[in-house]
Amino acid sequence: MTDHDQKDMEQRVDARIVETLDYWIEQLGRLCAQPSISAQRLGIDECAELTATMLREQGFAAEILPTGGSPVVYGAAPGRGERTLLFYNHYDVQPPEPLELWNTPPFTLTRIGDTLYARGVSDDKGQLITRMAAAAAVRDVLGEFPINLKYFVEGEEEVGSPNIPGAIAAHKDKFAADACIWEFGGIDFAGRATQTLGMRGLCYVELEVQTASLDCHSGLGGSLIPNAAWRLVWALSTIKGPDERIRIPGFYDNAHPATARDLAYLAAQPDQSAEMLETYGVAGFLRGMTGGEELRRAAVFEPTATINGLNSGYQGPGAKTVLPAQATAKVDFRLIPDQTPEEIVPLLRAHLDAEGFPDVQVRYLAGVKPARTDPDHPFVQLSIQAAADVYGGMPIVEPLIGGSGPLHPFIHELGLPVVTSGCGHPHSRVHAPNENIRIPDFINGIKHTARIITRFAEM
Amino acid sequence: MTDHDQKDMEQRVDARIVETLDYWIEQLGRLCAQPSISAQRLGIDECAELTATMLREQGFAAEILPTGGSPVVYGAAPGRGERTLLFYNHYDVQPPEPLELWNTPPFTLTRIGDTLYARGVSDDKGQLITRMAAAAAVRDVLGEFPINLKYFVEGEEEVGSPNIPGAIAAHKDKFAADACIWEFGGIDFAGRATQTLGMRGLCYVELEVQTASLDCHSGLGGSLIPNAAWRLVWALSTIKGPDERIRIPGFYDNAHPATARDLAYLAAQPDQSAEMLETYGVAGFLRGMTGGEELRRAAVFEPTATINGLNSGYQGPGAKTVLPAQATAKVDFRLIPDQTPEEIVPLLRAHLDAEGFPDVQVRYLAGVKPARTDPDHPFVQLSIQAAADVYGGMPIVEPLIGGSGPLHPFIHELGLPVVTSGCGHPHSRVHAPNENIRIPDFINGIKHTARIITRFAEM
């Protein structure tokens, strides 16, 4: 195909994307209306069925593969060319709580102006729909898929994808491909496209202390009976202090700092510190950081320890005088290459024992390894150029991002270069109330994915 | 009245108590069936009405006095003699949560063998009924009350009685009396009667941290955005460490150690450490204490800081990766003479500021001053002797106990000697699921109160 033919075809695909927009917003509403909260195993099987049905409606052979946890929805359709592109997405969502902070019903797609609201409308149902819409538009224009397309849509990403490495190992041939588009993508605060090349790992644990068989009157036991809430507070305070340095011996041993090339990518990134302060309503960043490369490096090239939740004793209104027998904390560690969740748990256990907290139990809930794709792969450059054409400017390249996902087996088991594409924006409020996407971003995400499909056929 | 006549009369009163037992268990069931959770202001007005109705049924003129918080139920009935005895009780109860740990419905009095179960069956509805039953039995035998009787039944004891000092100051003449029976009483682990002469004070606060305007994805913000849960954990850990010493400067300045007389009382107390360990299912006491006078002194003659509850972020099942914008802790301080809640709050505020936590808000929820009655008052000796006669052995004298109540204005405003009497036992699980009393203890509590009434007429 000549450059001119390619350009002309892409314009016809873009036009088809705009023509079919309302249909795909409807399909997005259909998918968001099915709750699928993996943390609570709520609506998971129903949402897997719906996803398979929607793929079949688009001409894909779809299967629901058991994994031991949430099933994986696998879809495949043949194309004219030899190459195979794999879409990795997930149909599960975060819990919608706190419900009282939502302005619209979380499981009803609601359009206000050019913005669409629902739990999962960005993460990750909206992103999944951009793939379906892009593939359909390309097929409508070309009469067929130009390459083989595969979907790997999992249902436990929001709880750390515990069964995904195993599922990939079990079906390695089925998922074989030449490249992968990852679950998310979109723009930064200034509207520039982003291209993500790596993700931090995750080690998610629950700490629990049980000091007595029943709660005690605080007047009776305050000086005598061990208090689970105090034990938990003291144990947590040994893990990290206000200097933000994680105090678990050995924790940083396998954490590699940013390379010169990473730092060059970071230096080219715009400073979005002001937008971030405004979005989260905070007066300043941790450790007095004010922005610049220092902030961007800290954001991703450092491992973290975050308390996700605390729970103990009486939490209702007013005063209840009770000495709690039980207390729990949810804590996640974000890991950088080459830390692994498997090494962190025993280090944490040894640390708590050494600090005098053998009574604090550690339950490993979820984890994934950190991973980075090879930025020199031609497919990565293809995606970057396609984004430049759709968004009218070179994308921001992120050598590593703060979030986590099961990227490791896709890169290291299936051997795929992995790029990003999609409809997200920095105010999408993923994981928070009033999650949203904007329709212009939705259209651009579809266009970008469509260009990757058509250009990968010619690469 | 001769000693013989007195003894004979007391025997007839005892017999009347046994005859009317079923009626008073029914009345106890009636009172427990009305939820009255002051922490949630649930059923408070209804329970005040019911209490007034029950007093009127016993021939008392009853009024419901507004206080600004839960109303006080005031009841009065004239007697033959000049003296006036005041009963201080409360009709409010602790929240029943955690509901799943109850074996019977918390607001349905349930009898299993000789044990009665319900929220409030001991604290304090059962105790209130012992007063009513005792007064009724004495009147049934004598044809009249031998002394003037007054009831002061409040409805916010479980949230620290914030309006009681004010109510007493406002109605000092109405509540004038010569002596007072406090809201509780009963036996120890070995079945010996107890006689309480003082209570610790309380300063109940809620600490709250808000670090951002919305929760953040933990992968995005972990290195950058202040985490309310971490801030709270670090702030709490500056208040008290595993050595149990409270680190707020000035906190102990007005805390007076036990006197020689206090220590003599403590030395005479039985060692109940084994029973306490078993009741609460704990392996050992704080700071390696094993029992004896050291434990008994620590139990009451030291102020405490107790975390009553922790609340932040995600607390549901599984893993939700969220960096919480808000975190709260409920904390109570038990105070010993002459600490006051009014002095503790600014000390805590100054401490948090000095430790670098000006972002941790302190909300004062409730408090009472510590107070002690005069053990040399003849009324105190009368109650001790009456207990010795009913229970068949000298009661255990507690110069101070760990719990708190609005004792201070009764002793220091109304000028009353205050004793205890009642139906509690150490396994009553007050403030916990499966709160209970045993019928033999209920009978003894009624008998003891009845003897105080008849002997106070002769004192």
Q: What is the pLDDT of residues B260-309, one digit of tens each?
A: 888 988 998 888 899 889 989 998 999 999 998 899 999 999 999 999 99
Which of A219, A307, A404 shows the shortest C-beta gap to B200? A219
**Distance of residue B220 Cα from the nearest chain A Cα, in angstroms:** 5
Q: Is residue B233 part of a domain?
A: yes
pLDDT classification of B151: cutoffs 50, 70, 90? very high
Among the three residues A368, A387, A412, which one is the final residue of a domain in this structure?
A: A368
Say whether A158 and B321 touch across the interface (CB within 8 A). yes
- Written as one string, the DSSP assignment of A167-185 is HHHHTTTTT--SEEE-S--
CA angle, B382 then B386 then B391, to 5°? 150
pLDDT (mean) for B116-134: 98
A340: which residues sit within 8 A by CB, 6+ positions away? A201, A254, A367, A369
Residues B106 and B169 in one domain: yes
**β-pair type (B396-398, B194-196):** parallel
Q: Is residue B340 part of a domain?
A: yes
State pLDDT tens for residues B38-47: 989 999 999 9
Contacts of A403 in chain B (CB under 8 A): 217, 219-220
pLDDT at residue B396, rounded to an integer:
93
Q: Is residue B288 part of a domain?
A: no
Gap between the Cα atoms of B401 and A256, Å rounded:
57
**Distance of residue B17 Cα from the nearest chain A Cα, in angstroms:** 31
pLDDT classification of B159: cutoffs 50, 70, 90? confident
State pLDDT tens for residues A61-112: 999 999 999 999 999 999 999 999 999 999 999 999 889 999 999 999 999 9
pLDDT at residue A272, rounded to an integer:
83
Residues B116 and B191 in one domain: yes
Kindly report the CATH number assigned to the domain that includes residue B186: 3.40.630.10
- How would you write chain B as a 3-class SS string? CCHHHHHHHHHHHHHHHHHCHHHHHHHHHHHHCCCCEHHHCECHHHHHHHHHHHHHHCCCEEEEECCCCCCEEEEEECCCCCCEEEEEEECCECCCCCHHHCCCCCCCCEEECCEEECCCCCCCHHHHHHHHHHHHHHHHHHCCCCCEEEEEEECCHHHCCCCHHHHHHHCCCCCCCCEEECCCCEECCCCCEEEECEEEEEEEEEEEEECCCCCEEHHHHCCCCCCHHHHHHHHHHHHECCCCCECCCCCCCCCCCCCHHHHHHHHHCCCCHHHHHHHHCCCCCHHHCCCHHHHHHHHHCCCEEEEEEEEEECCCCCCCCEECCEEEEEEEEEECCCCCHHHHHHHHHHHHHHCCCCCEEEEEEEEECCEECCCCCHHHHHHHHHHHHHHCCCCEEECCEEEECCHHHHHHCCCCCEECCCCECCCCCCCCCCCEEEHHHHHHHHHHHHHHHHHHHHC
**Distance of residue B249 Cα from the nearest chain A Cα, in angstroms:** 19
Residues B212 and B334 in one domain: yes
The ipTM of this complex is 0.83
Say whether A40 and B304 touch across the interface (CB within 8 A). no
Among the three residues B368, B393, B413, which one is the final residue of a domain in this structure?
A: B368
Do A160 and A204 form a contact (C-beta atoms < 8 A)?
Answer: yes
pLDDT at residue B432, rounded to an integer:
87
pLDDT at residue B331, rounded to an integer:
98
Do B368 and B201 form a contact (C-beta atoms < 8 A)?
Answer: yes
pLDDT (mean) for A297-308: 96
Does A160 have pLDDT greater than 90? no
pLDDT (mean) for A415-425: 97
- Supply the angle between the helices A125-142 and A3-19 in degrees, to the nearest 10: 120
Residues B252 and B335 in one domain: yes
Give the domain range for residue A315. Answer: 201-257+301-368
Does B434 have pLDDT greater than 80? yes
Residues A118 and A187 in one domain: yes
CB pairs below 8 Å between A and B: how many?
325
Does B406 have pLDDT greater than 90? yes
Contacts of A312 in chain B (CB under 8 A): 307, 309-310
DSSP reduced 3-state for A300? helix
Instruction: State the total domains in chain B.
Output: 2
**Distance of residue B216 Cα from the nearest chain A Cα, in angstroms:** 7
Gap between the Cα atoms of A209 and A357, Å rounded:
9
Contacts of B432 in chain A (CB under 8 A): 214-217, 322
Gap between the Cα atoms of B317 and A206, Å rounded:
10
Q: Is residue A21 part of a domain?
A: yes
pLDDT (mean) for A18-24: 98
Which amino acid, B113?
G
> Which residue from B minimizes the CA distance to A42?
B317
Residues B78 and B206 in one domain: no
Which of A229, A280, A365 shows the shortest C-beta gap to B221? A280
Quick one: A183 exposed, middle or buried, by C-beta within 10 A (0-12, 13-18, 19+)? Answer: buried
pLDDT at residue B172, rounded to an integer:
95
Residues A248 and A128 in one domain: no
pLDDT (mean) for A359-368: 95
A42: which residues sit within 8 A by CB, 6+ positions away? A35, A36
pLDDT classification of A417: cutoffs 50, 70, 90? very high
pLDDT at residue A375, rounded to an integer:
84
Residues linked to residue B330 through DSSP beta bridges, in sequence order: B206, B309
Which amino acid, B83?
R
DSSP-assigned letter for residue A304: E
pLDDT classification of A189: cutoffs 50, 70, 90? confident
Residues B179 and B31 in one domain: yes
Residues B357 and B392 in one domain: no
Among the three residues B368, B390, B424, which one is the final residue of a domain in this structure?
A: B368
Q: Which of A320, A404, A430 to mutate to test the interface with B (most CBs of B within 10 A)?
A: A320
DSSP reduced 3-state for A390? helix
**Distance of residue B407 Cα from the nearest chain A Cα, in angstroms:** 15
Residues A123 and A172 in one domain: yes
Gap between the Cα atoms of B442 and B458, Å rounded:
25
Q: Is residue A272 part of a domain?
A: no
Q: Which tokens sit at A199?
A: 């993700």
Q: Is residue B273 part of a domain?
A: no
Q: Is residue B266 part of a domain?
A: no
CA angle, B313 then B430 then B258, to 5°? 100
Residues A11 and A145 in one domain: yes
Q: Is residue B279 part of a domain?
A: no
Residues B77 and B151 in one domain: yes
pLDDT at residue B302, rounded to an integer:
96
Whole-number percent of chain A with pLDDT over 70: 100
Residues 390-409 of B with CB under 8 A from A: 401-404
Angstrom distances, CA of residue A445 to CA of A17, A134, A210, A391 = 10, 9, 49, 9
pLDDT at residue A319, rounded to an integer:
82
Does B167 have pLDDT greater than 90? yes
Q: Which of B245, B310, B425 to mutate to test the interface with A (most CBs of A within 10 A)?
A: B310
Say whether A318 and B402 touch across the interface (CB within 8 A). no
- Written as one string, the DSSP assignment of A307-360 is EEEEEEE--SSS---EE-SEEEEEEEEEE-TT--HHHHHHHHHHHHHHTT-TTE
Say whether B431 and A334 touch across the interface (CB within 8 A). no
**Distance of residue B435 Cα from the nearest chain A Cα, in angstroms:** 12
More confident residue, A233 or B215: A233
Kindly report the CATH number assigned to the domain that includes residue A323: 3.30.70.360
Do B39 and A316 form a contact (C-beta atoms < 8 A)?
Answer: yes
C-beta atoms surrounding A6 within 10 Å: 15
Residues 408-437 of B with CB under 8 A from A: 429-433
pLDDT at residue A58, rounded to an integer:
98
**β-pair type (B148-154, B72-77):** antiparallel
